[in-house]
Structure 1
Amino acid sequence: MKIGIRIAESHDLEQIREIYNWAVKNTVATFDLEERTIEQNIKWFNEHHTRYPLYVAIDQETVTGWGSISPFHPRPAYRPTGEFSIYIAPNFQGKGIGDVLLKHLCSCAKTLEYHSLIGLITGTNKASLKLAERNGFVQVGHYREVGIKFGEWLDVVAVQKMIANQRLEKII
């Protein structure tokens, strides 16, 4: 399988939504409890632009996964830090697509002059924790029992990778 990565386009939205909604219904990878509507997905898509890119992994014409950089926090002082998200279609998991997407997001973060990237990963999501570790992320926090899904308390592990060593004068 040859994995291609490209910026997401509006015609990808339904496949992106299907992947995400599968995760909502079947996993603890997201703490969303209800599937995204088309309207919610369009609003979310429109919030991802140059500073906060959204990419798709494709195999021919099929979207096999997606990854994005979002604001880590809405307050302006957090602007040099982004939060990454990656979701893979269920029948394409375990094929290295997450690695390709995360490497691409890190490269983009460097180009966009982010200082660091953060990931918030459910503590039981061992595959995502290993993905982050393989790609140079380190655990910087562990929030205990901060969410409930499928009738169980869930921990969240914060991982971080320093992307660029920037001088403060350049950021301010």
Structure 2
Amino acid sequence: MNYMVRNASKDDWDQIKNIYKEGISTGLATFETKVPSSYEQWILKAHPECTLIVYEENTTLGWCKLSTTSDRLAYTGVGEVSIYVHPSAKRKGVGDLLLKNLIVKSEEQGFWTLQAVIFLENKGSVHLHQKNGFRVVGIRERIGKINGIWRDNVLLERRSLLVGLEE
């Protein structure tokens, strides 16, 4: 395994889009039912320095991004994590590599809290976040419908030990 990590760019869009489609098709990853129509739409609310891919040679194996959670000034250092791994790259350390790098990048950019909202049934993603310092804050019951079925979300958060400690 010779995985590399870098910031995502518009040139990566086709592979990012395909990985996102795969995630949507599982029914475990998101309430979204279709991929955004362009890279610009996909990255619109994301922090560009916290939008990463893991790749090997010319193949993108996974991506993550950190999106703003609110336009309110008080929440400037709070971001929501999205992370997707290509089905063929699952259980090979790609998600862990993405999340570890995202945590470092987010702290460099002044984020003091990361949150993740994950379907209750997506135990692999919940475990990935927990092993990287996220804790379960609670369960949001019947928070949204997908394909006419109410779904629950686990809300997790990670507080930085480096950012936001000043009084």
Q: TM-score, normalised by structure 2?
A: 0.91
Q: Is the 8 A contact 1:64 1:88 kept in 2?
A: yes
Q: Identity of paired residues, percent?
A: 30
Choose from 41, 44, 48 the match for 1:43.
41
Structure 2: where are the runs of 5+ without partners?
A: none
Output one character per residue of 1:8-51: Cα deviation in whole Å (capped at 9) or x when no partner: 11110010011111111223211102x22433x3222354444x
Output one character per residue of 1:97-144: Cα deviation in whole Å (capped at 9) or x when no partner: 100000001111111121111111111100000001100110112101
Written as runs of structure 1 = structure 2, the 5 A alignment for 1:7-156 is 7-33=7-33, 35-39=34-38, 41-50=39-48, 53-156=50-153
* Residues in 2 aligned to 1:135 and 1:49: alpha-carbon distance in whole angstroms: 20
Q: Is the 8 A contact 1:13 1:42 kept in 2?
A: no
Higher strand share: 2
The answer to whether 1:6 aligns with 2:6 is yes
Equivalent pairs, count: 165
Query: Shift in Å at residue 167 of structure 1?
Result: 1.8
Query: Root-mean-square deviation (CA), in Å?
Result: 1.7
Choose from 141, 155, 160 the match for 1:158.
155
- Taking a change above 3 Å as real, the CA distance of residues 37 and 143 of structure 1, as seen in their structure-2 partners, is closer
Structure 1: where are the runs of 5+ without partners?
A: none
* Residues in 2 aligned to 1:13 and 1:32: alpha-carbon distance in whole angstroms: 18
Query: Shift in Å at residue 75 of structure 1?
Result: 2.1
